[in-house]
């Protein structure tokens, strides 16, 4: 029968507690510091955007669901890579681990871009980097990823799902660039709709790839 020793269990968890709470407390401290130094209301960082704006709870629902799917793809890929790394039997398993880790990193970048409006607001308005430049960087990074793992993708994964997702992303970006130059009614549903469909396919592709890596 296991010995009940909460003190020993707590000591064993000290590194994990530091890893979890030190970044979180640092972030909260930064918010307080911004309030003290610049007078920025803390509620702007801590409260939900719909509460701050006084809008309904379903405002931006499709965008929020998309971010959850980005996060799911990244988290599942990282978890599967970590589990698979404990049993490295073949070179193919090594490649799967690398594929999932790199894919998770790329997905995390796209998640943060979507979450904090990097290509829509931060880069063009604050850093004076045009959307086309940002799109080009993402395209090059994605292309390098696909090229580097092309054999693994074609032989070991459900690549039609990935192809569908990439086509949807391309259509969404195309509608975004067209909308900047020509005001066409209804382009938002096409731009955002294709983007959401792309995220759905991307998430499904990586979840299935993660599952296959564990079999």
In terms of domains, do 176 and 201 share one?
Answer: yes
Residue indicated by tokens 């405002």: 59
In terms of domains, do 68 and 150 share one?
Answer: yes
Among 98, 82, 74, smallest CA distance to 205 is for 74
Domain annotation covers residue 55: no
Domain annotation covers residue 54: no
In this prediction the pTM is 0.88
- How do residues 121-150 score in pLDDT, each as one tens digit? 999 999 999 888 999 999 999 999 999 999
In terms of domains, do 100 and 169 share one?
Answer: yes
The fraction of the chain above a pLDDT of 90, given in percent, is: 68
The C-alpha atoms of residue 4 and residue 138 are separated, in whole angstroms, by: 52
**Mean predicted lDDT score pLDDT of the chain:** 91
In terms of domains, do 127 and 195 share one?
Answer: yes
Among 160, 161, 169, smallest CA distance to 198 is for 169
> Which pLDDT score, from 0 to 100, does residue 131 have?
87
Domain that includes residue 24, residue range: 1-46
> Which pLDDT score, from 0 to 100, does residue 102 have?
98
Burial degree of 4 (CB within 10 A; 0-12, 13-18, 19+): exposed
In terms of domains, do 87 and 18 share one?
Answer: no
Average pLDDT over residues 48-52: 81
Tokens read off for 109:
């970048």
pLDDT at 23 over 70: yes
Burial degree of 142 (CB within 10 A; 0-12, 13-18, 19+): middle
Domain annotation covers residue 189: yes
In terms of domains, do 199 and 151 share one?
Answer: yes
How many contiguous H segments (helices) and E segments (strands) does the chain have? 10, 0
Domain annotation covers residue 53: no
10 vs 99, more confident: 99
pLDDT at 151 over 60: yes
In terms of domains, do 64 and 42 share one?
Answer: no
- Number of structural domains (the chain) is 2
pLDDT at 166 over 70: yes
Residue 95: partners with Cβ closer than 8 Å, 6 or more residues away: 149, 152, 156
């Amino acid at each position: 029968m296991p010995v009940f020793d909460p003190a020993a269990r707590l000591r064993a968890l000290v590194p994990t507690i530091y890893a979890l709470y030190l970044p979180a407390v640092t972030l909260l401290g930064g918010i307080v510091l911004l309030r003290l130094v610049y007078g920025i209301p803390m509620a702007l960082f801590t409260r939900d955007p719909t509460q701050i704006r006084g809008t309904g709870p379903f405002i931006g629902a499709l965008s929020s669901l998309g971010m959850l799917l980005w996060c799911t793809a990244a988290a599942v890929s990282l978890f599967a890579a970590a589990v698979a790394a404990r049993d490295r039997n073949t070179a193919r398993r090594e490649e799967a681990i690398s594929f999932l880790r790199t894919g998770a990193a790329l997905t995390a970048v796209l998640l943060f871009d979507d979450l904090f409006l990097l290509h829509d607001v931060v880069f063009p308005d604050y850093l004076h980097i045009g959307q086309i430049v940002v799109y080009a960087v993402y395209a090059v990074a994605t292309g390098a990823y696909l090229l580097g793992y092309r054999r693994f993708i074609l032989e070991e994964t459900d690549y039609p799902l990935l192809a569908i997702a990439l086509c949807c992303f391309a259509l969404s970006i195309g509608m975004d660039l067209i909308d900047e130059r020509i005001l066409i009614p209804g382009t938002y549903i096409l731009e955002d709709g294709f983007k959401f469909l792309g995220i759905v396919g991307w998430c499904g592709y990586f979840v299935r790839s993660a599952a296959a890596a564990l079999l």
